[in-house]
């Protein structure tokens, strides 16, 4: 799975994607020959946002502090809006959102289970890290779908309201430095599962050497953006 990180081959073009808070607007990425068909892209993107909403809703229910509940509710609301807007786009195209999302329910629900922490703080970090990486990846894919992709990109670039999660985790880390070690370890644990989801989204996940070289910069930048998110919280990636 991590072959593309170990190899550093020259490629014919540079692929870049948006890193939240660092580069501003998303850079367009063109690897259309590896992108899934548009229905697959929309179904996966819609179900991912629904999953983020569901996880955040579970956190709201299990969090005793009212201020934290309110912060989590903003992040949950932002994920739900993104889901609803992608669903509206699917319906506008004449497709059934449920039918497009259903093939990914089992695998993406398993991903959510695998990245659900024992403690609420671990699960909060899971949402912040996995949603950030996958939003960036789907932004990279979006340039392959013309106007539909541009509309999805606008949806994904909308405020995710996850800064409140960062602030909750920051306060947790400040309260006990042992949390810093625990959350740093958990953050590293999340990367493999998240990259598997991104790789599985490609049209054919088993890539030949030329295709590996083509997507390598995208995954390298995903890792770079992940490191910056971790660094912003004072955690070692």
Set out the domains of the chain in order of their start, with CATH numbers: 29-233 (1.20.1260.10)
pTM score, two decimals?
Answer: 0.83
Q: What are the C-alpha distances in Å from 187 to residues 70, 109, 159?
A: 24, 19, 22
Query: What pLDDT sits at residue 91?
Result: 98
**Contacts for 107 with CB less than 8 Å, ≥ 6 apart:** 197, 200
What whole-number distance in Å separates Cα of residue 139 and Cα of residue 123? 23
Q: Is the pLDDT of residue 28 over 60?
A: no
Rounded-to-integer distance, Cα 112 and Cα 178, Å = 25
Which position has the higher pLDDT, 40 or 15?
A: 40
Q: Specify the pLDDT at position 205.
A: 66
pLDDT over 70 percentage in the chain: 85
**Confidence bin at 237 (pLDDT 50/70/90):** low
Which are the contacts of 43, defined by CB distance < 8 A and separation ≥ 6?
90, 97, 100, 101, 102, 103, 104
- Distance from C-alpha of 228 to C-alpha of 19, rounded to nearest angstrom: 9
For the stretch 67-79, pLDDT in tens is 999 999 999 999 9
Which has the closest alpha carbon to 186: 124, 104, 94, 96?
124
Is residue 7 very low, low, confident or very high in pLDDT (cuts 50, 70, 90)? very low
Round the average pLDDT of the chain to a whole number and report it: 85
Q: What is the pLDDT of residues 101-157, one digit of tens each?
A: 999 999 999 999 999 999 999 999 999 999 999 999 999 899 889 999 999 999 999
Give, rounded to a whole angstrom, the gap between the first and last alpha carbons of the chain.
18
Q: Give me the residue label for tokens 């990367």.
A: 191
């Amino acid at each position: 799975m991590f072959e593309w990180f170990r190899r550093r081959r020259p490629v014919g073009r540079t692929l870049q994607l948006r890193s939240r808070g660092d580069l501003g607007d998303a850079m367009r990425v063109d690897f259309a020959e590896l992108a899934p068909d548009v229905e697959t892209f929309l179904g996966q993107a819609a179900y991912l946002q629904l999953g983020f909403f569901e996880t955040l809703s579970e956190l709201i229910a299990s969090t005793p502090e009212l201020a934290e509940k309110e912060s989590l509710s903003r992040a949950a609301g932002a994920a739900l809006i993104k889901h609803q807007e992608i669903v509206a786009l699917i319906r506008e195209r004449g497709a059934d959102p449920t039918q497009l999302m259903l093939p990914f329910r089992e695998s993406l629900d398993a991903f959510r289970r695998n990245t659900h922490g024992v403690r609420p703080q671990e699960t909060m970090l899971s949402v912040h890290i996995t949603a950030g990486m996958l939003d960036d990846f789907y932004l990279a894919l979006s340039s392959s779908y013309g106007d539909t992709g541009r509309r999805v990109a606008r949806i994904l670039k909308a405020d995710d309201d996850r800064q409140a999660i960062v602030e909750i985790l920051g306060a947790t880390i400040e309260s006990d430095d042992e949390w810093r070690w625990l959350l740093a370890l958990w953050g590293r644990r999340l990367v493999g599962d998240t990259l598997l989801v991104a790789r599985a989204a490609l049209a054919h996940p088993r890539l030949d050497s030329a295709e590996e070289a083509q997507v390598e910069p995208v995954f390298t930048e995903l890792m770079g953006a992940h490191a910056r998110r971790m660094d912003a919280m004072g955690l070692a990636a």
